[in-house]
Structure 1
């Protein structure tokens, strides 16, 4: 049964749950997974995983994490530890996919998948725009932006997940913001009729 002191932040509570789960508390495992599932899925999707495979990679991340939970000592937050595992899971998946032979290459698979998606849901178009803008960022900038701005990790935690200095993360986030703002302005400013000639 979970009996940690009142946590002061969500990261502390997830770390407490991870430590309790490490001790065999099944309820703590459930809390740990529920608390971080959305962040892991968003992170996995944003760093290059095929959206069709994102849920599988998210589950694989949790399987890896739960399998190595006995080694988690709580020196960092459980959230950053789990996102580091998620990053490795995506990298392993991409390496595996690159090494596999392709049996069938269908040109129109992406448009068929897009047509099958539900339309008209609140926020759907905004989500598509954000996904397109993020997809156009270089991978390192996209990863830093998603970790800090979408998932809310502190820069030091994001640096641990990305395995780079904090200053590099700050620089990548600043450059990502600048690029996103420029692209938004470009998309909003119509091209004058006479300027196209």
Structure 2
């Protein structure tokens, strides 16, 4: 399970500055900088596409697709936004394209009960597995806007200002969405812990 605790603002700003510098150096043809750029932001992209797609099975493919797209269009990157913000916007498009393709593709399974087979294929003994499932379930209850604001600020670690720029809405709206997402998830957790809910 990947940690969902965001880094401090200072360390995140330093990491963003480094990643942006590596992206600009990679744009100039430095292969070592390209490798550092990918390594620095791989975890953020993987977390983001996992939550956006809701499909951990294809998250690594979507992450590779995101970096392939980014490296292919690096010559157009000018550093106006941080490399992470730029990369996450590419990841968002990659997931959207994947979901559009999946919606029109026929689903084929070699078993009648493919959902149970998929659940059994997951490694339930991993530390934090139950917590990860619970987080996925809670996130699924949120509206798309609140889920995205929560993920970008609390999971990926963007500031409210960066998230506002990324999503194209005011900072106050981002703060409101995150606050409401937290309140909704806390309420659901409290309800799940009541004796009546446990008995059910």
Asked whether the two chains share a fold, i.e. TM above 0.5, the reply is yes
139 and 22 in structure 1: CA distance in 2 versus 1, 3 angstrom threshold:
same
| Equivalent pair of 1:137/1:176 in contact (CA under 8 Å) | yes
- Structure 2: runs of 5 or more not aligned: 1-11
Question: Structure 1 stretch 110-119 or stretch 84-93: which is displaced more?
Answer: 110-119
The one-character-per-residue Cα deviations of 1:98-129 (angstroms, maximum 9, x if unpaired) are 233x2537763222111111122222221121
Name the structure with the higher helix share.
Answer: 2
1:143-170 CA-partner distances (Å, limit 9, x unpaired): 1101001111011211222232322221
Q: CA deviation at 1:132?
A: 1.5
CA contact (8 A) 2:26 2:34 kept: yes
Q: 1:74 to 1:188 in 2, by over 3 A?
A: same
Cα pair distance change 1:112/1:18, threshold 3 Å: same
Higher relative contact order at CA 8 Å, sep ≥6: structure 1 or structure 2?
2
Counterpart of 1:131?
A: 136
Give the alignment's TM-score, normalised by structure 1. Answer: 0.87
Q: Which aligned pairs between 1:19-168 and structure 2 lie closer than 5 A?
A: 19-100=24-105, 102-104=106-108, 108-168=113-173
**Aligned residues: CA RMSD:** 2.2
Pairs aligned (count): 188
2-structure distance, mates of 1:52, 1:23 = 34
Unaligned runs of 5+ in 1: 1-6
Asked if 1 retains the 8 angstrom alpha-carbon contact of 2:147 and 2:181, the reply is: yes
Counterpart residue number, 2:6: none
Runs in 1 of length 4+ with deviation above 4 angstroms? none
